[in-house]
Amino acid sequence: MPTFRLLRHYGHLSKLVEYRLNSTAAATQLSDINTTNPKPFKDIPGPTGIYSIPKIGPLFLLKPFSNYNIFNIHELLDGLCDKYGSIIRLGDAVVFTSNPKDIEYVYKNEGKYPVRPGLDILEVYLERTKKEKGLGVLNGEKWAKLRHSIQKVTVRPKSALYYIESQSGVAEDLIHQLRSIKPEDLREMLFIYAVESIAVVCFNKRLGILGEHVTDEVKEYLENSKLFLKLSNHGFMGFPFYKYFETPTYKKFRDATDKAYGFGKVQIEESLEKALQMKKDGTWNPDQSNLLMTMLADDRLSVNQISSMVLDLLVAGTDSTAKTLELFLDCLSRHPDVQEKLYQEILEHMGRHGDLTADNLPKMKYLAACLKESFRIHYPVPVGTSRILPHDVVLSGYTVPKGTMIGLNNRRLVKNPEYIKDPTVYRPERWLRDGHGVRTEEIPSIGLIPFSIGVRNCIGRRFAEQEIYLAVAKIIQNFKLSNKDTRPVAERKVTYMPFGTLTEQPMINLQERP
Ligand code: HEM
């Protein structure tokens, strides 16, 4: 998610309570909705007393009044669901639901221009520095226009396959690096891998940062992009003073973002120069996927908009993928049986030394099942996505007024024994289909949607999945993973910053296969 897109959707209770939109979008009237006599909003179960004070009540659920903050908000929500059920109301403007029917209903009613709660600190930064807003910050028609231009080259099933060969080279370099690293360096290495891999898509070139000698410039970029993510999270909590003056946190955020953007900008300028030259010379083959060229060919987009969009993808596409990889490898390292089965699939389709290709990737069904199960055990985001609808809806029999922030709690849904057998067990087989295309276990189709669905779903899904498959297939082809920590996967604590990451460093041992 675009990292900051994700940041936009989750938690931010102080911000969420502000949302009551007066949308003019075409509205489905309550009378259209399949419900009779819905109960009023105020009857939705949830914490009462000070917690239900309009606007500020939900803030009392968080630090310093409790042990919860934006990083462990999933634990707060779990506790509330245990107490109140699948739909809960927080204060006067926030609802979370893990009822699959509600989730489906919200997506069906999200409208042409779905709205997610925003990440204001980034928006404030972009406005103050007079930078173009990317997909991460836009809404309405402006969002739709930009989305339309970019999704042509990102969401088609084959979009990512165009890059598979170059990204496979990045995975090869990762293996080389993994041969000599200590377990405690794995997290950093996966982050660098994710940057290098998405850069292939964004700039049509290798940055060359997955090498022995990482330059100071690259180190600075890595540090600042991490700081950017971390501070974006901090910006969520409490009253948004940064909107009115430059608070110390805002200043740190501003400096980190300036530097992270600065690095990306240099890359973009170089790549744009080449792309413009190709356009001039007529040497660009439009059948060849080239994100920058496709955007340049769209006269409706300015060069500044293109730059900001590419930066959006770069930032959004790194931490998300790196953290998912980390959680996935941690699951595999605790399940030698699963690893062995996956290794056999790799031998069958890729061979002992071969690569993942556009031909054999679709055959790797077990690999895909393993990733799905990893997403289920450690949902990548603390809830799911969220929406602010332009009209009233009825969820779980209660009226939910327009403008309410509706958190779709898919994370909770895919851990609920009502819908998933043995939810704490890592069992990729549950995602496999039999010869008739039927899943071995019945699972609600709306349950596991880590990239979300609908017109505002994750634009980078194909790239993220491909980068993860490339890395994991190569890692399992070359190493046996083990873990000194023998706790079951479901007991591993995850912190959301904003993507799920192991609270304790992953301590995975990589043993070279003979
Ligand atoms: C495992 C990795 C990833 C996960 C779990 C993830 C998840 C998500 C989710 C849940 C959303 C919100 C969708 C919604 O509200 O309906 C989202 C949006 C988005 N993601 Fe990802 N994402 C990942 C990787 C990426 C990558 C690699 C890129 C870029 C190449 C990317 C770019 C975006 C963008 C630009 C949006 C905003 C789309 C919009 O608002 O139109 N994501 N992502």
Task: Find where tokens 């075409």 sit.
Answer: 26
Lowest-pLDDT range, 108-122, 168-182, 244-258, 292-306? 292-306
Mean pLDDT computed over every residue of the chain: 86
Residue 382 CB less than 6 A away from ligand 1:
no
Among 111, 81, 364, 119, CA closest to 243: 119
- Report CA(340)–ligand 1 centroid distance (Å): 31
Concatenating the DSSP letter of every residue in 304-337 gives: HHHHHHHHHHHHHTTHHHHHHHHHHHHHHHT-HH
- Rounded alpha-carbon distances, angstroms, from residue 87 to 9, 46, 473: 18, 8, 39
Higher-pLDDT residue of 14 and 309 is: 309
Residue 132's pLDDT is what? 86
Which residues are known binding-site members? 458
Residue 100's pLDDT is what? 97
Residue 134 CB less than 6 A away from ligand 1:
no
How far is Cα 451 from Cα 289, in angstroms, rounded to an integer? 22
Residue 381 CB less than 6 A away from ligand 1:
yes
Lowest-pLDDT range, 2-6, 38-42, 309-313, 424-428? 2-6
Structural contact between residues 386 and 9, judged by C-beta atoms closer than 8 angstroms: yes
Dihedral through CA 120, CA 125, CA 130, CA 132, nearest 10? -60
Residue 485 dihedral angles phi and psi, to the nearest 5°: -75, 120
- Report CA(313)–ligand 1 centroid distance (Å): 9
Which residues are known binding-site members for heme? 458
Task: Find where tokens 């799911």 sit.
Answer: 384
Query: Which among 201, 455, 458, 461 is the best mutation to test ligand 1's pocket, defined by most ligand atoms within 8 Å of the CB?
Result: 458
CB under 8 Å to 397, separation ≥6 — which residues? Answer: 35, 38, 39
How far is Cα 389 from Cα 395, in angstroms, rounded to an integer? 12
Amino acid occupying residue 438: V
Structure tokens at 191: 């982050």
Q: Which residues of 74-108 are buried (b: 16+ CB within 10 A; e: fewer)?
A: bbbbeebbeeeebbbbbbbbbbbbbbbebbebbbe
Residue identifier of the C-alpha nearest atom 30 of ligand 1: 460
Work out the number of other CB atoms within 10 angstroms of the CB of residue 16: 24
Query: Which among 451, 462, 465 is the best mutation to test ligand 1's pocket, defined by most ligand atoms within 8 Å of the CB?
Result: 451
- Report CA(44)–ligand 1 centroid distance (Å): 30
- Report CA(462)–ligand 1 centroid distance (Å): 10
Q: How far apart are the first and last CA of the chain?
A: 38
Structure tokens at 365: 């069904």
- Rounded alpha-carbon distances, angstroms, from residue 364 to 153, 176, 208, 338, 350: 24, 23, 29, 14, 9
Residue identifier of the C-alpha nearest atom 1 of ligand 1: 321
Residue 32's pLDDT is what? 43
- pLDDT tens digit string along 314-372? 888 888 999 999 999 999 999 999 999 999 999 999 999 999 999 999 999 999 999 99
Residue 450 CB less than 6 A away from ligand 1:
yes
- Report CA(336)–ligand 1 centroid distance (Å): 31
Residue 271 CB less than 6 A away from ligand 1:
no
Residue 116 CB less than 6 A away from ligand 1:
yes
Q: In this model, does residue 502 exceed pLDDT 90?
A: yes
- Report CA(255)–ligand 1 centroid distance (Å): 25
Residue 197 CB less than 6 A away from ligand 1:
no
Residue 463 CB less than 6 A away from ligand 1:
yes
Query: Which among 5, 200, 309, 371 is the best mutation to test ligand 1's pocket, defined by most ligand atoms within 8 Å of the CB?
Result: 5
Lowest-pLDDT range, 144-158, 389-403, 415-429? 144-158
Residue 380 CB less than 6 A away from ligand 1:
yes
Residue identifier of the C-alpha nearest atom 41 of ligand 1: 456
Q: How confident is the model at residue 233 (pLDDT cuts 50, 70, 90)?
A: low
- Report CA(451)–ligand 1 centroid distance (Å): 6
- pLDDT tens digit string along 172-212? 999 999 998 888 889 989 999 999 999 888 888 888 888 76
pTM of the entire predicted model? 0.90
Query: Which among 139, 320, 470 is the best mutation to test ligand 1's pocket, defined by most ligand atoms within 8 Å of the CB?
Result: 320
Cis peptide before 390 (omega within 30 of 0): no
Structural contact between residues 145 and 445, judged by C-beta atoms closer than 8 angstroms: no
Q: Which atom of ligand 1 is nearest to the CA of 138?
A: 40
